[in-house]
Chain A
Amino acid sequence: MTDLSRRDFLKLARAGFLWISSGLALGGLFRFLDYEPNPAPKTEFDLGPTGQFPLGSHTVLFDPPAILFHTKSGFSALSLTCTHLGCTLEQTADGFTCPCHASHFDADGNVTHGPASQSLRKLQVQITAENHVIVYLD
C-alpha cells in the first residue's frame, strides 16, 4: 500500500469538497425550481352524480359549507357561511343558526335574528354533461 502524499491528500480533499458542494448546490437549485406554492382555494366543487341527490332531498355539504336542494325546479344551493363574520352555520328545525354569535336564518336563508344583517348567499349550481353536480363559490 502506497502512502498518500500530503499533496495528493489535499488534492483529493479539494476535489471531494467541490463535488459535495456542487451536489448540495444543485440539490438546492432543484428544490427551489421544484417549489410549488399552495394552490388557490377551490371555488368549484364536483359533488358527484345527480343520482346521489334524489328529488326532494336537501343535503348539508361540508366542503364547501353549503346546503344543496333538489326540488322540482332543479338544483339550488345556499352557502352556510354566516354573513356576519364567516362562521359555519348549523341546521336547526326552522333554518340555520350560527354557533358563534347566534345569528339565525330561515330555511330560505333570510335573516331572522342578528347580528347578521344579510341573507345567506345563493350559490351557482350547474349540471355537467356527465350528470355531475357542480357548485361554484364565486
Chain B
Amino acid sequence: MKKLLTVASGLLLLTLLFLWWWNARAPKPIELIPTLTGQPEYCLTCHADVPEISPSHPTETFGCVSCHGGERLALDADLAHSTMRGGANPSDLSVVEASCGGSNCHSGSEADDRHHIQRVITSIQSTYAGAISNIRFTFGAQTDLSAHFGIHAVTDEQTQTGFTSLAKFDLFNESNPNIQKFGENCLTCHINATPREGDAYARQTGCSACHSVGNHTYTTAIPYTQCNACHNRGNYDLRTMTFTERTDQPTSRLADYYQPIAQFTQCEYTLDCIDCHTRSEVMGDGDIHANQKDIQYVQCKTCHGTLTELPLTKTLTDPNDIAFTLAFLNPIIDLKLGDTILITEKGEPLWNIRLLPDGTYEMIGKATRQYFTFRPVMGTACEQNPAEQESRYCHECHAVEH
C-alpha cells in the first residue's frame, strides 16, 4: 500500500511539473485593441513579425480578426485559427464579403465607387464566362456565344449588358467529353475558382490574386510579374483539353512569354499591365459580361490618339475626383488641381499620365515609378488607319524583335 502511495505521489509531482512547464513555455500574451473594433485580440502574441498589410490597413486600426476571423482571445494556435475565414486567404471570393466587405469598406455603393466586391464577383476574371461559352459553343452544347454559365452562379439585377445572371457551370451536366475535360482541367486558375492545393496557390484567388505581392503585403502598385503569375503560367493544350503548366522560370519578359509567336510593341513589354489597363477592365464594372473583349477596351489610341484625334484628356478641377484618390493610394505622382490627365473613352482616369506644356505626355510607371514621355500620333508620319486600332495593326510597324 505504501509503495502504491509513493508511486502515486511521484506521478502527482510529475504531472504538476509538466503542467508548470507547459504553462511557463506559453508566450506572454500581447494584447491589441484595434480602433475599428475596440475588442482585444491576442494574435500578435505569435504574429508580431507579420508586416502591416498596407498603409490603408494599419494594424493598430484594423487588427487581424476583422479581416481574418479566428478566435481573438485564444492563445492556442489550433483554437485561434479554427474559425479563420479562407485559411491563408480571407479575400477568397467565397468569404470576401465577411472579410473585406461592409459599406465603409469594399462593398459599398456604386455611387461612391466602393462596390469593389460586386464588381470583382461579376467580372470576367471571376466568372470565366467567355471561355466557358466558347468551349460549349465549339463542341455543340450551345448554338451561339452568349454567356450562360460562370464558375459560380452570379446575378446582376441592374445589368447594363443584358446579362442578369449566370448559372454555375457543372461539368456533370455536360455530355461532350471535351467539355467535361475542360471542366475538370481548366477552371482552377480563375480568381473565383477553388484554389489548387499547396501554399503556392493559396493566394491566387480573390483580391490577393492581384493585390498580394509579397508576404502579407497588399498594394495597388501591381507589377507585371503579379499578372504573369497566372497569365504566363503555362498554356492550354486544346487537343487534350488540359492546361500545361510551364516548368521553366521565365527570365526574359519579351522572349519567355507563354505564347512564343506573340508580338509586342515596346510599351507592351516595358510598362506594367496596370499602366494601361484600367480598374474596370481588370476588376470589372459591376455588370456581367460575355467575354474578355466586352470589357477590355483600352487600345493604342487611348494614349496615342489617331492621325485625326488627340487622346482624350481631362483637366482636374474637382478635389474629390477619383484620380486624386487613386494617386493617394499609390503615391507615384503629385497630382494637382489644374493638371490635365488622359482619360479613356469611358471616362476612366489614366491618372498616371499628364499632359505637358509642350504637347507631349508624361507617364509614371505605377509599379516602377519610372518616367516615360511620349507624343501623340497626330502630326507624325504614321500611316495608320484610324479604324484599325487593335494592337496587331500597330505591331506591323512597331513590334519589337526578340
Contacts and interface: CB of A to CB of B under 8 A. Distances in A.
Interface string B1-16: 0110110011011001
Interface in A95-118: 99-102, 112-115
Given A13-B6, A86-B35, 9 more contacts: A10-B2, A14-B9, A17-B12, A21-B9, A24-B13, A28-B23, A38-B31, A41-B33, A112-B319
A99 B112 contact: no
Given A14-B2, A38-B31, A87 B13 contact: no
B62 A85 contact: yes
Interface in A70-87: 81, 84-87
Interface in B1-50: 2-3, 5-6, 9-10, 12-13, 16-17, 19-20, 23, 31, 33-36, 38, 40
A101 B61 contact: no
B395 interface: no
Contacts of A18: 9, 12
A55 interface: no
Nearest to B16: A24
Contacts of A27: 20
Contact of B3 (A10, A25, A87, A112): A10
B172 to A, nearest CB: 44
Interface of A: 10-11, 13-14, 17-18, 20-21, 24-25, 27-28, 38, 41, 81, 84-88, 99-102, 112-115
Contact of A113 (B56, B104, B320): B320
A14 B369 CA distance: 75
Nearest to B113: A115
Given A14-B6, A17-B13, A99 B55 contact: yes
B56 to A, nearest CB: 5
Given A102-B324, A114-B320, A81 B6 contact: no
Contacts of A86: 34-36, 61
B83 interface: no
Nearest to B10: A17
Contacts of A99: 55
A64 B62 CA distance: 17
21 contacts: A14-B2, A14-B6, A17-B9, A18-B9, A18-B12, A21-B13, A24-B13, A24-B16, A27-B20, A28-B16, A28-B19, A38-B40, A81-B35, A84-B104, A85-B62, A85-B105, A88-B61, A100-B55, A100-B58, A101-B325, A113-B319
Interface residues on B, range: 35 or more
Contacts of B114: 115
Interface string B161-187: 000000000000000000000000000
Contacts, number: 74
B24 to A, nearest CB: 11
Interface in B146-173: none
B112 A114 contact: yes
Shortest beta-carbon contacts, A-B, top 7: A86-B35, A17-B9, A102-B328, A24-B16, A14-B6, A17-B13, A86-B36
A40 to B, nearest CB: 10
B335 to A, nearest CB: 12
A13 B62 contact: no
Interface in B271-315: none
A128 to B, nearest CB: 27
Nearest to A81: B35
B57 interface: yes
A24 B16 CA distance: 7
B9 A100 contact: no
B6 A10 contact: yes
Contact of A102 (B17, B38, B325): B325
Contacts of B61: 85-88, 100
B321 to A, nearest CB: 10
Nearest to B66: A85
B93 to A, nearest CB: 22
Contacts of B10: 13, 17
Given A21-B9, A100-B58, A115-B112, A87 B35 contact: yes
B16 A25 contact: yes
Nearest to B57: A100
A14 B6 CA distance: 5
A85 B320 CA distance: 19
Contacts of A81: 35
B58 A14 contact: no
A48 B190 CA distance: 58
